[in-house]
Structure 1
Amino acid sequence: MSLSAENQQNNRAAEVNTTRPKVIFFDVNETLLDLNPLKQSVVKILGGKKELGTLWFTTMLQYSLVATVSNKYYDFGQIGASSLIMVANNNGITLSDDEARSAVKPILSLQPHPEVKEALELLKQNNYKLISFTNSSNKAVEQQLDFAGIASYFDGSISVEDYGKYKPDTEVYHWAARKMQQENKDCLLVAAHGWDIAGALWAGWQGAFIARPGQQLFPLAPLPQINQPNLLDLAKQLISP
């Protein structure tokens, strides 16, 4: 490791400051819910090319941010379907709006990762306040949590739909903290996406990264207070003395 890289790592590590959060906010897609059925549906309609499925997801995130910085807001499902059409067109595949919407519809009927229910139960037993915090619409996240059988673990749900901007815009995290009547430093975001963790940390929140397969932290962002491979290990760390 070069001296500059070592110094950068030390500076990032020095910013980590862990205190018991007053509210734990959970990203939903991939953090709590297994996205494989959605990925399979998208890959299938893109001719079975897995790399195009990955490109679709990053394109969807890109255009949610394009809308945000342009002071526009569209439902995340709309952006997902539109992005799918763009990726398809670029690869010689013609999709109608209905076909694109049908391909992304499995996002509403996903199962939780195997350890999620046990982890949420453990956190509830230890008096943590749990809030879902997602880029999905209010209606979508309600359907998702109900279908997954985990809605009862949450004390509330926050969707960016009510603010009109997408994570990781800094003001979205500040707005969510205000909604819960908390200071930023007392909020913890649990997420499996490096961009979401980076946004939360830069907004003054605490961060807990769930290292789902294929996910990485952003090297230029501060280190999160917690880094675990799954939600149960996270819960055990949060309740440890």
Structure 2
Amino acid sequence: MPARPAAIAFDVIETLFPIEPLGAGLEAMGLPRALLQGWFAASLRDSFSLAAIGAFQPLRAVMEANLDDLLARHGRSAPAAKKAAVLDGMGSLPPHGDAAEAVTRLADAGLTLVALSNGGAEATEALLSGAGLRDRFSQVVTTAEIGLSKPRREVYLGAAERAGTDPARLMLVATHPWDTNGAKAAGLMAGFVARGRPYPSILTPPDLQAESLAGIAGSIIALPG
């Protein structure tokens, strides 16, 4: 059993805040709501592709480019205002039902909390503030300030530096296996929020796994100090 980490870095998009509400914006442009996850996955793919060659574009710009592609492939078009409305929604997503409980328990247990997101700083700050969670986080770290997207190791090491702790004592909590795998490769600990999905056997396993944010928080607190 690993020792309790000194700090927790929470992934933000999908881990703390589900993207499902953005589906209504796709429907408003004549696209099926079912395309939402594919749109987000394609945007992550392109962010990874840029990071692999040492380049960077903000997630919003990448998502906008993939939204244009999605519209074109389905024979649709949309005015700039409708596209902007969907993208702006990234800053007003509701949190998962157990996000506040998990974050509060960990903060009250004395752990330093950091938000670590591929999203922009303004949107991330808006999400945390809107959910009443901002004061629980000592730092908000985004890939824009690193100039590379996750899962580049520089992002995780940058989060450890901002948290003021050794990478080996920082645990990333995420619902993305690629993210926890990246954290492990950078020397961090990792906690995977499964939500009913198996962890891929081809990736480095996390230190902890639970079905929910509340579950992973309980597992972290139960670790020996």
TM-score between both structures, scaled by the size of structure 2 = 0.91
- Partner of 1:40 in structure 2? 24
* 3-state SS of 2:116 partner: strand
The CA deviation at 1:171 is: 2.0
CA distance in structure 2 between the partners assigned to 1:21 and 1:113 by the alignment = 23
Runs of 5+ consecutive residues of structure 2 not aligned to the other structure? none
CA distance in structure 1 between the partners assigned to 2:205 and 2:24 by the alignment = 32
- Partner of 1:64 in structure 2? 47
The CA deviation at 1:150 is: 1.0
**Corresponding residue to 1:233 among 183, 198, 215:** 215
Higher Cα radius of gyration: 1
* 3-state SS of 2:115 partner: strand
CA distance in structure 1 between the partners assigned to 2:15 and 2:24 by the alignment = 18
RMSD: 1.8
The CA deviation at 1:58 is: 1.1
CA distance in structure 2 between the partners assigned to 1:112 and 1:163 by the alignment = 25
- Partner of 1:88 in structure 2? 71
Q: Residues 141-175 of structure 1: CA distance to partner in whole angstroms, max 9, x if unpaired? A: 11111111111111111111101100011222122
Runs of 5+ consecutive residues of structure 1 not aligned to the other structure? 1-16
CA distance in structure 1 between the partners assigned to 2:70 and 2:208 by the alignment = 35
CA distance in structure 2 between the partners assigned to 1:237 and 1:90 by the alignment = 44
The CA deviation at 1:177 is: 1.7
* 3-state SS of 2:85 partner: helix
The CA deviation at 1:71 is: 3.1
**Corresponding residue to 2:205 among 212, 218, 223:** 223
Q: Residues 23-71 of structure 1: CA distance to partner in whole angstroms, max 9, x if unpaired? A: 1000011111132212332354352251x22221111001112222333
CA distance in structure 1 between the partners assigned to 2:27 and 2:166 by the alignment = 41
CA distance in structure 2 between the partners assigned to 1:204 and 1:77 by the alignment = 28
- Partner of 1:22 in structure 2? 6
Q: Residues 172-195 of structure 1: CA distance to partner in whole angstroms, max 9, x if unpaired? A: 212222233322211100001111
* 3-state SS of 2:21 partner: helix
Q: Is the 8 A contact 1:173 1:203 kept in 2?
A: yes
* 3-state SS of 1:136 partner: coil
Distance 1:123 1:113, change over 3 A: same
Pick which of 123-132 and 41-50 moved more.
Answer: 41-50
Pick which of 91-100 and 123-132 moved more.
Answer: 91-100
TM-score between both structures, scaled by the size of structure 1 = 0.85
> Percent identity, aligned pairs only?
26
Say yes or no: does 1:198 pair with 2:169: no
